Amino acid sequence: MDLKYLKKLEYNKILEILENFSKTYIGKEKCKLLLPSNNVNYLLEQTYQALNIIYKNGSLPLSSIPNINIPIKNLESNFSLTAGDILQVATILKTSRELKEYFSTNCENVDLLIEYFKSLYIDKQIEKEIFDKILDENTIADNASSKLISIRKAQKNLGVEIKNKLNSIIHSTSYSKYLQDSIITIKNERYVVPVKEEYKGQIKGFIHDVSSSGSTIFIEPLSVFELNNELNNLKVEETIEIARILTEISKKLSTITNELKNNIKLIGEIDFIFAKASFSKSINGIKPKLNNDKFINLIEARHPLINKEKVVPINISIGNKYSSLVITGPNTGGKTVALKTTGLLLLMAYSGILIPANEKSSIYIFDNIFADIGDEQSISESLSTFSSHMLNIIEILNKATSKSLILLDELRFWN
């Protein structure tokens, strides 16, 4: 269907609302690009089944997911991932498992959805390993490996030993008078004490920094030099061990890159389908009957963009006993709204969105919907508006078939 006619019927506004019901970047993109289809019965039934699951199991356990395209490419190139990237991959595995668990109960008569959930790949073991070993993108758990536990325990013990030696200096009567403050600090990843500039020669050691005013010298006393060296060596060992842990996990993930890519697609598709179901739920949408007799019978139809508390339901029937319907009435009487309601509800149904109407409503799948619904200017006041209407109507006449629906607003005749 021509996009300009979709816009005249405010279909684009429906897509904007639909996008808000989507949780993932993939689902949102699908909502933006959604167009009416001929496969109406399948799409409506799919949404209807999703809506039934929502009523039985509650909302889909889904939130925003990370884009892991780059991490997957790195895995495919046998590169090790960072802790942050591994957590993002684990989030996809966790989301997949939660979706599968959500679908495992109270899900009868959902043949159009089962394959999406059934095809999700889960690996509880690697998922648990990642979340157990990586606390956040900057923190690896102590128990990520026995070696890491040992290294960090040695670091802690060395740190205590260094602080004890430095405490004996800063609290001694011999040295305390040389210090700017009775504190221990760290400079260049080494424990130091702050010494007054004029006494820098009184404490033997290595200068690591000077305060901005120049009044304080940060000195590493000789008594802790070797201990600081040992501590830094342990930090290097820690870095190497963390890299080994991340490499080990990355190798495991590199064997399931195809499954991860498929999961992302499936999650996006599930999100998209359930966004349509959630939107349908918000407007009390129903699955209309489809007929092959080229007629529309919308009962208690409501325009979905008008506040539910204020919208006035209408009945529209055409094609059964007559193929043309003329709506007359005063200005602001609802004629344009009636046209837009008819066209928009059909477009929604053709897109797999349940429509706000009585469940006895019936629709036909037209090959096209044309609309000439412009502004409310008087044609006598604007030749450009008149020309636009004429060109639009000519185009409609040239393209319409016996299976098309044509909606004309403010149709006028001239001698």
Q: HSE, CB side, 13 Å, CA atoms: give it for residue 248.
A: 13
Question: What is the reported pTM?
Answer: 0.88
Burial 107-135 (b: 16+ CB within 10 A, else e): beebebbeebbeebbbbeebbebbbebbe
174 and 184 Cβ atoms separated by less than 8 Å: no
Fold of 3-14+284-408: Rossmann fold (3.40.50)
Predicted confidence at residue 412, as pLDDT, reads: 61
Predicted confidence at residue 413, as pLDDT, reads: 54
* DSSP string of 131-187, one letter each residue: HHHEEETTEE-GGG-HHHHHHHHHHHHHHHHHHHHHHHHHTSTTTGGGBSSS--EEE
∠ CA 89-140-133, nearest 5°, is 60
pLDDT < 70 positions in the chain: 332-333, 374-386, 411-415
46 and 112 Cβ atoms separated by less than 8 Å: yes
Q: For residue 58, which amino acid is it?
A: G
Fold of 146-238: MutS, DNA mismatch repair protein; Chain A, domain 3 (1.10.1420)
What does the domain layout of the chain look like in residue ranges?
A: 3-14+284-408, 37-144+243-282, 146-238
Whole-angstrom Cα distance, residue 231 to residue 237?
10
pLDDT digits (tens, 9 = 90+) for 334-387: 888 999 999 999 999 999 999 999 999 999 999 999 998 865 443 344 446 667
Angle between helices 257-282 and 40-57 (to 10 degrees): 90
What is the length of the chain? 415
Predicted confidence at residue 375, as pLDDT, reads: 52
For 12, the token pair is 């684009």
Q: For residue 393, which amino acid is it?
A: I
Q: Is 335 exposed, middle or buried (0-12, 13-18, 19+ CB in 10 A)?
A: middle
pLDDT digits (tens, 9 = 90+) for 248-280: 999 999 999 999 999 999 999 999 999 999 999
61 and 102 Cβ atoms separated by less than 8 Å: yes
